[in-house]
Structure 1
Amino acid sequence: MIKLEGITKSFGSLQVLKGIDLEITKGEVVSIVGPSGAGKTTLLQIIGTLDEPDAGSIFINGTNVSRMNQKNLSAFRNTHIGFVFQFHQLLPEFNAIENIMIPAYIAGTSTKDALDKATEILDFMGLKERALHKPNELSGGEKQRVAVARALINNPAVILADEPSGSLDTRNKDELHQLFFDLRNQFGQTFVIVTHDEGLARITDRTVHMIDGMIQ
């Protein structure tokens, strides 16, 4: 479902990725671990088409995204890739359900369909009663679950998460990790997660170890 071939990336004279080959199948929950500076986040950004490799190819659902122009790439990213960051990145002026609906609006979904889908996802997550609350009225765990709901709204092929539980306490962290597996089991959702959390890495389907820009 995701295939990387010979991915390299340098910033000036520093080569961050040194020929990455990686395949991820549909419904896998994959963690990427390694020391700081190993290239984990850079690799995640390249998989997510937020950055371009210097060389190599990226295939998502059979599409070679390396060959797309920026306009087509933005549309592809919006409908095929969901993102969850360490700090939820919710827009403070919008309530939970409005934040979730934003990617659907960008994709051209009608307000009714976007609202129906967002409500369905919130209900699945047990947060339906928090739909009209703004981010400053939500707990840290609730904010991150809303961020996951936002990533899901367009039925993406993959959700990419960068240290998604890094700012959460133990209880909320465990609940978020369980949510990933619930979504995989219920909907066949694929996750690629950069993490320093050893507990999360242990329970994922596969752990990719990176060091010095290479997969070990």
Structure 2
Amino acid sequence: MTIKRIACVLALLGGMVSMAAQAQPVVREANAPGAASKGTSAEARRRSQDTPFAFRGIALGITLDEFRAGSTVRATPLGSVPVCETDVQAGALGMRLKSHESLTVACRWAHRADDGWAVSQAVVDGAPAQEHVPRFARADGQSALRLYEISFVIDEITAEDLRDALADRYGTPRLVTHSASSSGAMPVYAWENAVSSITLCFLPGTRNGTLTYLLKGSDAWVKSVVRQWQASGAEAG
């Protein structure tokens, strides 16, 4: 190889090294959005694991005052409002009447009919539910009543559609099959994150299902509330 050829090869190699060095920041910059996107997705997944599930924008853990806001009504007919056991209208709906100091409170959506107050129907997956009950409790000495459970009774067709919709949104559920002695197996589908769960239960023989949004740890929470009530002798319900 002549000196000129050696010089050309060295120059070519030098140019390639220089181009590679210049290209590296470009590659890093090109990859940066992807890395940032992956980081953002991971952060979003982490936040979703730490955020309570919500029924149509009504998140578990909200206060009773927040629930009473008109924008959170998810019921038919139009004009429905939340009525809770602390309201005077509760008696007309067949609910217990409790004081504002109660440790647990249940609510329903209701509307004023021609002959007085009537229970409304919550709308679940575009269909009216047969029953619905949001439940609130005071946790660990907190003064505010907070939503720890919201449950519905829905028809079987709505339950099947909802199972598919929840699977699309939250992924494949955990299947738990309970044995119902009189009517066979009772399939239960559960979605969970770090702080809450959604449970969809098909009730054999009734052609109905139950849908329950629940804060994790709320069983112990409510038992603690009951113990407080028993110890104080106050009305907790």
Instruction: Give the TM-score of the pair, scaled to structure 2.
Output: 0.27
Structure number, greater radius of gyration: 2
Give the structure, 1 or 2, with the largest relative contact order (CA under 8 Å, sep 6 or more): 1
